[in-house]
Chain A
Amino acid sequence: MTNFEHELVALDPAAAQPYRHPDLDALISRVVASPRVAPSRVWRSFRFKIGSALAASALVTSGAVALFSGAGPGLTVLALAGTSANVPRSTIMMVPEVYSFSAGPSLSLATPNSASYPLTLPDAATEASRLAGIFGVSGTPVASNGDTSWTVSAPSGASLDYETTGLPEWYYSSTSPAIAPATASSTSLADLPSAATLESDATTYLNELGYGYTVSDPSVSTSTTSSTAPDGSATTIAEETVDYQVDVNGIGTDQLVSFSVDNNNDLLYASGPAFDVGSSVAYPLQSPADALGVLNAAQQSLANEHTSTSDVAPGVAGSTSLGSSTSTTVPVEQVTISDDTLTLQTYVLADGSVWMLPVYDFTGTSTDASGATATNTWNELAVDPSYVQITNSATGGSSLEYH
């Protein structure tokens, strides 16, 4: 286990109170007394206290559902299957806080121009076979998981996996299972190839992949991983990785392509998205200021949720109000937005189609009641809200997922 894994384990909220049901025998008796076949959605009343998680979940829908009526002629309303774009990314676990955003002097006043892009997705089996050829994995694609996963495996242990859930992604690994680093080929970072060599080889692969996107902003990193075998012997392995940001029409997206090699410059693993870019669609955008207003409205909803449920962790100080009409005991952190960047992010529409839609990345500094500051990023869809409808899937899609 590495140092960071030790640190993560130390953060585990459940570590201090490992769960033990008070009466498993009674639970088992109650459950087995119920019929095995039952309506698929029978949920008992929940008595749990709403935390920030719920409030943040509500924020997604309350803050982003928009009207159909505003859609102009020739443009179909984008029915999103769910989005977390307006959930503050700094909110993690159950920290009960909301934000009040204000525009700093450097916030863009003008509404930028950016199109939206439907993505063209390749046939899975054909693409898995093509990719396997590029990475030198000989074999026939085998489907699993209801045809959502395709795997090509070579006798050497190398494999090419192609996953089609949402935006398709491909994964190459030189061994199976691909617990990176895949091979114990080096013990020193000094043995690794130069960044220029890695980037040159990665460019060759990218050209062969031939997708309808470009890449930029290469980020080269090295790492070592130490492990201890059951016999007590220790192994330290070095690898070098280059990550590229995927761009569409010159705009950065939320997608990455990665290549990792060992000290012999042999490819250990690689991964990236598989798509081509369809014809652009010119959905009108809202201004950065208007998008910030949407973010604030969502935070207001979050504050209201807390107020209605009296859900404030004991001992929280710094009560204030968000907006003029609602007083709340939820601590509010003031955030001054210092930068906004237009990006493209991946969205799966209700009809299953996959799009790249423009999104504002807002960077700002928040200050809590104690005066502590932190810099974070918040996202908001840039498409004019009158062209967007958020739908909640019956099975509980990602729109209600919270971390």
Chain B
Amino acid sequence: MSAPEEDRFARLVREHSGAVGDYLRRRLYPLSNADLDDLVEETMVVVWRRLDSVPADAELPWMIGVARNVLRNARRSANRRHAFEATLTPALDDPAAEDVVVADSGLREALAALSEDDREFILLNAWDGLDTHALGELYAISTNAAAVRLSRAQRRFRDLLSAEVH
């Protein structure tokens, strides 16, 4: 274990833990802060173990990819732990999910009408700030392909929104 590795890991954590936490919160909302901290740490454990694999030009999308897998595994693990989780309570300061999510039913319904792929592309771009290069890294496709898919998804979303209005 060398100092440069620790330094790089510490920098990754300081620079990207906020974005990783936001990504997780957006897809599993509401979460208590402690629960969210646990998932972020799980992500960072994987980042540390696979530090040599983190591409220098795509650190955040790579870490978002790890967070996606952590989320999937967490859901499966939680599915087997009903009794334990039945004791959990939401954080007192968490607003009700619907207060946040159902703020605009037109947008929500337009998003829901999209295919899962289109919706995830749009939200990763609009919420998580991933550009087409980062989306390409995350999905292991070329930047061009990611750009076309994003553009296509955005156009369908605009069409759906337009249909909602009229």
Contacts and interface: CB of A to CB of B under 8 A. Distances in A.
Given A19-B18, A176-B144, A396-B76, A51 B30 contact: yes
Interface in A1-19: 2, 4-5, 7-14, 16-19
Interface stretch (A24-32, A69-77, A195-203, A320-328): A24-32
Nearest to B51: A36
Interface string B67-97: 0010011111111011011101110000111
Given A34-B45, A48-B88, A400 B75 contact: yes
Interface residues of A, number: 99
A57 B13 contact: no
Contacts of B75: 53-54, 57, 400, 402
Q: Decide if the interface of chain A is mainly helix, strand, loop or mixed.
A: loop
Interface in B1-43: 1, 5-6, 9-10, 13-14, 17-18, 20-22, 24-42
A114 B126 CA distance: 39
Nearest to B20: A19
Contacts of A173: 144, 147-148
Contacts of B161: 4
A152 B38 CA distance: 43
B133 A177 contact: yes
A47 B149 CA distance: 36
Interface stretch (A90-98, A102-110, A292-300): A90-98
Given A12-B127, A46-B78, A36 B48 contact: yes
A376 B41 contact: no
B144 A376 contact: no
Interface residues of B, number: 97
Contact of B122 (A8, A89, A309): A8
Contact of A308 (B31, B82, B119): B82
Contacts of A45: 77, 81, 84
Contacts of A95: 97-98, 101-102
A271 interface: yes
B141 interface: yes
Contacts of A91: 112
Interface stretch (A158-166, A183-191, A278-286): A158-166
B72 A400 contact: yes
Given A13-B29, A402-B75, A47 B127 contact: no
6 contacts: A8-B123, A20-B21, A31-B41, A36-B5, A377-B113, A398-B116
Given A49-B89, A308-B86, A309-B88, 5 more contacts: A11-B103, A19-B21, A161-B148, A178-B144, A314-B96
The 3 closest A-B pairs by CB, nearest first: A19-B21, A396-B72, A48-B35
